[in-house]
Structure 1
Amino acid sequence: MDKYELFREHLRESAKEFRKIDKNGAVRVVSHLDCDGICACSILIKLLTSENRRYSISIVQQLSEEVLEELSKEDYNTFIFTDLGSAYFNSIKKLFHNKNFFILDHHEIEDKQASPYHINPNLFGIDGGKEISGAGVVYLFCSSLDKNIDMAHIAVIGAIGDVQEENGFQRLNRDILDIAVSGKKIEVKKGLRIFGAQTKPIHKVLEYCSDPYIPGVTGSESGVIQFLDQVGINPKTEKGWRKLIHLTEDEMKKLVTAIILKRSAEKNPEDVLGNVYTLIEEDKECPLRDAKEFSTLLNSCGRLNKASLGIGVCLNEEKSKRKAINNLNEYKKEIVKALKWHTENKDSDCIFKEKGLMIINAKDNIMPSMIGTIASILSRSNNIEEGTYIMSLARTEENTVKVSLRIASMSNIEDVDLRQIITEIIKKVGCGDSGGHPQAAGAIIPSEKEEEFIKIAKNMLRKNIM
């Protein structure tokens, strides 16, 4: 058997263990607050509901020894961790030794112990950072228990939310996508790889398009209007502003050609084209119609502490959808507010800058759940040199500091492991918890260690500047 067959066999063995658990007992579900974590939790909830099992959910920003200790004291006999837990396998095994537990995760792990209660593709040499999301792992697990579980499209959303789509998917994600397509949940077409096609006016989509960057257009409202005029596309009709989905086939061809020509000096001018994933059961011009916008909406729910709305959206609850779309507007306001603070304080002591390095200490000025989002946005900015490390920090109500680490867009990002870097910083500080992926990592540290952490981080990041 190859590694994929071994992984699927492991999933079947784990499913057999789960079937042994008494259905009368409630299941405690713990998941991550990002898009992938919400998708993973939702798929599991669909299964538990279909089996008439009772459950209780907690969505957390990050696991820690303290969180696990508190959970272990709760009066539940079965715990399931989704999109997190692998980094704490030994702690979970120790604290929950007299309980049933399952870890369904895809993050990298140091201690690769095989166990029917630990389901992680990395245990079988499969790259969980690229080939399958946390939601994908949960979907395969649930499919081993119920072949009719109709949630492959949600697993695809989780993978897109975890940035695993790059001109298509790799093996396991691709298998799940094929199920979603054959089930008529998702349609895949080649098109403009631009965010907001379903919901934003054409001129705004182009003005705010940073990935891919369009010279003379991105960031310039007047540049956009002039560009569209040259192409021969009227951005407005009597009914109002037009969106990308309103363009005729001929207009779209003209627009694509013009954008590629504008990008002729870029390394890959044609990478404006890519796969567009459409949720065909969702209404047109709705944020849930486009898979990337769907994933952003779920992220907004988690980041603003309304993960239950995101779960409701994944479970196709109309009331939750309406509320989540309103919540998305609040999320955008928080992003604007955070970016405004960053701009106003770029020359203050809160923001340290030197070649190849930027450290943003937002303290109490940005929500801790938003600090990673801001670091990600800045990492895609054309104003920051490629390869620059971006570390952001924000204080929590629990007397801790949330840390996020990103790197500004670079072609050889495969050579960088941010998770390893932040883990090494934590080790030098002597306390705290780290996690994430090679391209997007984070940590939680005690507030009293903030200054020491920043000092050590500066020194270690300087050594890693390429």
Structure 2
Amino acid sequence: MSEDYAKFIDGARKLSETIYEWVYENQPVIILGHNDADGISATAIISKTLYRAGVRFHARILRRLEASELERASSSGRMTILCDMGSGYLSLLSKYSWNGGLAILDHHKPELFEAPSNSIHINPHLYGLDGVSEISGSGVAYIVSKGFSRVECKDLAVLAIVGALGDMQDIDVGRSLRGVNKLIVKEAEGEGYLTVQRDLLLPGRESRPIHIALASLVNPFIPGLSGDEDACISFLSKLGISLKESGRWRTLSDLSKEEKQMLFNELLRYLAENSYPTSILRDLIGTVYILQKERRFSYMRDAREYASLLNACSRMGLYGLALTIAMGDRGDDTIAKAESTYIDYRRKISSYIRTILSEPGRIISMGKFYLLKCLDLVEEDLLSVVTSIITESYLADRGLPVIALSGASSGEVKVSARLPRSSKVQNMDLGLVMRRAASRVGGEGGGHSVAAGAYIAKGKVEDFIAALVEEMG
């Protein structure tokens, strides 16, 4: 273990001892978590830890930190814990009195502002670590949970892995996790909760028939196959890959090594013949994280699929369902609802991608970045997903940021920004760019260096774009 990792883990555990004292003194604790897979996993980790410690709590999942929510929490006099958010809004949080105590458990780059009084701020950036790639919000929550004395929480390591994969931190060799994330992986492996393999990274590799898994592939998005089960059946049949065995649908995990290689090679040929970039498949083979305590053929067996399921439920507005699953509910009705939502989510995403790629004027080159115009198409909770897919599947070779716009339920405009994994842009910090450009037009923004967002007034779009051009130099 490196010295920096050790300092962070030791520092976080010491601060968690104070959190442990505060939660007993100011019950029921208020837990507020971000609405992505990482934030939901982090919220579940803290919630399960408090439950096991006998501490009462109320957990809520939020799209963003808003004044009304902060006013309600701060005025309650109870302990408040922020999961996977807060570090970028220290100045806003400092406007409120946190008499019951405030804990900020985050991995986003902190705002250059002093943390509120009577608060504990745990963030890897404060220890010289990279919150984009070395540990996620759920990883921070897991390290904190381990600092709670007399509470057993080793099984929660898998949720930290789910959260890290949901936050696309699998950027090491072979789409693997690195940094503190890797330490958590080793811990989960050692306890028998996890096994690590190398395989094709199709969604539902253990849970879905192979033709449905192929049709469910949206990142990368393969025109003519993604979202079209009939086309995938035809594609696989021409390869001579049997879809059933002993009357049961075969999954990707049932295929032989030779069949998987043949499938990958044929996908490359298909893309080349149809003039699509074959580079979009570069990350389709990589590291697979299997959760050993989850039932085989379930959506939660593969950690990436688990993260996608949580993300789908949340992005479709079912925050409670996502958190319930992360908390461990495996009831038939719960899982059926989640799986149905997941299918609807992927179909909707596929439809959006097809529309964007087929309609001229949706993607515009702005010189320093690409502008993705989705104001009349994509709802705000799905914008970041669509932006990521377009960025990695179709614009990655350009190496430039992608900035997407959609309408928000608040009447504002939601902005999502992504930088391709392969980008050669030097010293680009999208979180800082979003914060500065948004503030120049009276909005708010922030995030990671490679993935960020903002909210701006509807009438300020052109001014915001002009500010982006200036901020990017």
Fold shared, TM-score > 0.5 on shorter chain: yes
Residues 1:335 and 2:338 are matched in the alignment? no
Q: Residues 373-420 of structure 1: CA distance to partner in whole angstroms, max 9, x if unpaired?
A: 111111122377522432222222323221101235535367532212
Q: Which moved more, 1:378-387 or 1:115-124?
A: 378-387
Q: Could you tell me whether the CA contact under 8 Å between 1:23 and 1:52 is conserved in 2? A: no
Cα contact 2:158–2:188 (8 A) shared by 1:
yes
- Is 1:52 the counterpart of 2:54? The answer is yes
SS at match of 1:144: coil
Contact 1:113 1:123 in 2 (8 A): no
Offset, 1:274: 1.9
Q: How far apart are 1:421 and its partner, in Å?
A: 2.0
1:341-392 C-alpha deviation (Å, 9 max, x unpaired): 5356x335x7644566432343354221111111111112237752243222
Distance in structure 1 (CA, Å) of the matches to 2:211 and 2:71: 51
Q: Secondary structure at the match of 2:204?
A: coil
Alignment partner, residue 125 of structure 2: 122
Whole-angstrom CA distance in 1 between matches of 2:428 and 2:249: 42
Give 1:246 deviation, angstroms.
1.9
Structure 1: which amino acid aligns with 2:458?
S
Q: Does 1:398 align with 2:410?
A: yes
Deviation of residue 123 (structure 1)? 0.4
2:394 is matched with: 382
Q: Is the 8 A contact 2:211 2:232 kept in 1?
A: yes
2:259 to 209, 232, 251: 251
Deviation at 1:142, TM superposition (A): 0.7
Work out whether residues 315 and 382 of structure 2, in 8 Å CA contact, stay in contact via their aligned partners in 1.
yes
Distance, in Å, in 2 between the alignment partners of 1:66 and 1:139 is 28
When residues 361 and 209 of structure 1 are mapped into structure 2, their CA distance, relative to the original with a 3 A threshold, is: closer
TM-score (norm: length of structure 2)? 0.84
SS in 1 for 2:398: coil
For the 8 Å contact 1:194–1:205, the answer to whether it is kept is yes
| CA distance in structure 2 between the aligned counterparts of 1:56 and 1:235, rounded to whole angstroms | 46
Deviation at 1:125, TM superposition (A): 0.3
Match of 2:360 among 341, 344, 347: 347
Asked whether the equivalents of residues 78 and 100 of structure 1 are also in contact (C-alpha less than 8 Å), the reply is yes
Which residue of the partner structure matches residue 362 of structure 1?
374
2:162 is aligned to 157
Deviation of the 1:60 alpha carbon = 1.5
2:191 equivalent to 1:178: no
Q: Given the alignment, which residue of 37, 43, 67 partners 1:41?
A: 43
- Verify: 1:299 aligned to 2:311, yes or no: yes
Unaligned 5+ segments in structure 1 are none
Change (3 A) 1:122 1:112: farther
Q: Is the 8 A contact 2:158 2:194 kept in 1?
A: yes
Amino acid at match of 1:111: L
Aligned residue pairs total 458
Do the aligned partners of residues 281 and 363 (structure 1) sit closer, same or farther apart at CA in structure 2, a change above 3 Å counting? same
Question: 8 Å contact 1:381–1:408 — kept in the other structure?
Answer: no
Larger mean CA deviation between 301-310 and 361-370 belongs to 361-370
- Report 1:58-457 matches (<5 A): 58-65=60-67, 67-73=69-75, 75-111=76-112, 117-146=120-149, 148-149=152-153, 150-166=155-171, 167=174, 168-203=176-211, 205-206=213-214, 232-236=240-244, 239=247, 241-252=249-260, 255=263, 272-319=284-331, 320-339=334-353, 341-343=355-357, 346-347=359-360, 352-353=364-365, 357-363=369-375, 365-382=377-394, 386-408=398-420, 410-412=422-424, 415-429=427-441, 431-457=442-468
> 1:186-209 deviations in whole A, cap 9, x for unaligned?
211122233332244434545665
CA RMSD, aligned part only?
Answer: 3.6
**How far apart in 1 are the matches of 2:364 and 2:264?**
39
Q: For the Cα contact (< 8 Å) 1:87–1:108, is it kept in 2?
A: yes
Task: Look up the SS of the partner of 2:370 in the other structure.
Answer: strand
Question: 1:28 Cα shift?
Answer: 1.0
The question of whether the paired residues in 2 share the 8 Å contact of 1:40 and 1:139 is answered with: yes
Deviations 1:131-150 (A, max 9, x none): 10000000000111045112
Q: Which amino acid aligns with 1:242?
A: R
Task: Name the amino acid aligned to 2:89.
Answer: Y
Higher mean C-alpha displacement, 309-318 vs 215-224: 215-224
Structure 2 unaligned regions, length at least 5: none
Shift of residue 451, structure 1, vs aligned partner: 3.7
Identity %: 29
Distance in structure 2 (CA, Å) of the matches to 1:45 and 1:398: 29
C-alpha deviation, 1:213, in angstroms? 8.6
Residue 104 of structure 1 and its aligned partner are, at CA, apart by 0.5
Q: Secondary structure at the match of 2:41?
A: helix
Amino acid at match of 1:434: G
Contact 2:37 2:310 in 1 (8 A): yes
TM-score of the two chains, using structure 1 as the length reference: 0.85
Greater shift, 125-134 or 16-25, is seen at: 16-25
